[in-house]
Amino acid sequence: MNVETHQPDVRSRILVEATRLFAERGYDGTSIQSVSEAVGIRRPSLLYHFNSKAELRDAVLANMLAYWKDTLPTILTAATSGGDRLDKAMSAMAKFFVDDPNRARLLAREMLDRPDDMRALFREHLRPWTGLLTGYIRMGQEAGSVRSDLDPEAWTLQMITAAIGAVAVGPVGGHMLADAPGIPRQLRELVRTAKASLFNPRPQPAAAAEES
């Protein structure tokens, strides 16, 4: 009873611990033994729920991408104006990773370990709303509010990469920024960078002397 309430579902508890450990130590660096210990069961019991280590990884990944797939479109469609949508999408993405930095770490690791599989997963889960985003960017370009020399797909991709990177390796650069808690400061700058590089200021910037 209260055992069940305290441990709602073994399968999902395995997923939670596996997600954490895969994110922290990587797939190769994590033994299913250590996962089972974190859950509080023996290894064969874990293998009863997930037939192999690879299957566990796939489940962890699917579980995380499903969250992303479900939550973000809701936020996006809730926003009204184009600029609002971009804002909301950026903060939703940031929140997704900041809420649990292990998400960023896990994604980063998987992208490094299995780029091909991740490309396929991204096409399936991420493409829909990045498509929305690039669409709005193009509209903004035609309307003149968004810089015309901007590459919509590359820009979006870069912001995702930058967000993941900022959160995933936050601790590394953290001490380079002496005082502040690091990640917030890093993310604030990311948002600033995103806006500054996106929206059109004026055709002829004052600092043009700096460029060729």
Partner DNA sequence: CGTCTTGCCTACCACGTGGTAGACAGAGCT
Partner DNA sequence: AGCTCTGTCTACCACGTGGTAGGCAAGACG
Q: Which does 113 bind (CB under 5 to 8 A by kind): DNA, a copy of itself, none?
A: a copy of itself
Q: How far is the CB of 192 from a copy of itself (least distance, A)?
A: 7
Total of chain residues touching DNA, rule CB under 7 A: 18
Q: How far is the CB of 33 from DNA (least distance, A)?
A: 4
Amino acid of residue 128:
P
Residue 42 · residue 36 · CB < 8 Å: yes
In 3-state terms, what secondary structure has residue 199? strand
Q: Candidates 33-41, 44-52, 54-62, 183-191 — which segment interacts with a copy of itself by CB under 8 A?
A: 183-191
Give the CA distances from residue 44 to residues 8, 29, 40, 64, in Å, rounded to whole numbers and listed in that order: 20, 19, 12, 24
In 3-state terms, what secondary structure has residue 26? coil
Q: Which does 189 bind (CB under 5 to 8 A by kind): a copy of itself, DNA, none?
A: a copy of itself
Question: Quick one: 70 or 189, whose CB is closer to a copy of itself?
Answer: 189
Site membership for DNA, residue 201 (CB under 7 A): no
What's the token pair of residue 68? 């992303």
Total of chain residues touching a copy of itself, rule CB under 8 A: 70
Q: What is the rounded distance in angstroms from the CA atom of residue 14 to the CA atom of residue 69?
A: 22
Residue 136 · residue 82 · CB < 8 Å: yes
Question: Quick one: 28 or 70, whose CB is closer to DNA?
Answer: 28
Question: Quick one: 40 or 131, whose CB is closer to a copy of itself?
Answer: 131
Site membership for a copy of itself, residue 29 (CB under 8 A): yes
Q: How many CA atoms lie within 13 A of 19 on its CB side?
A: 19
Number of residues that this document lists for the chain: 212
Site for DNA in 40-69 (CB under 7 A): 41-45, 47-49, 51-54
Give residues in contact with DNA (CB under 7 A): 10, 30-34, 41-45, 47-49, 51-54
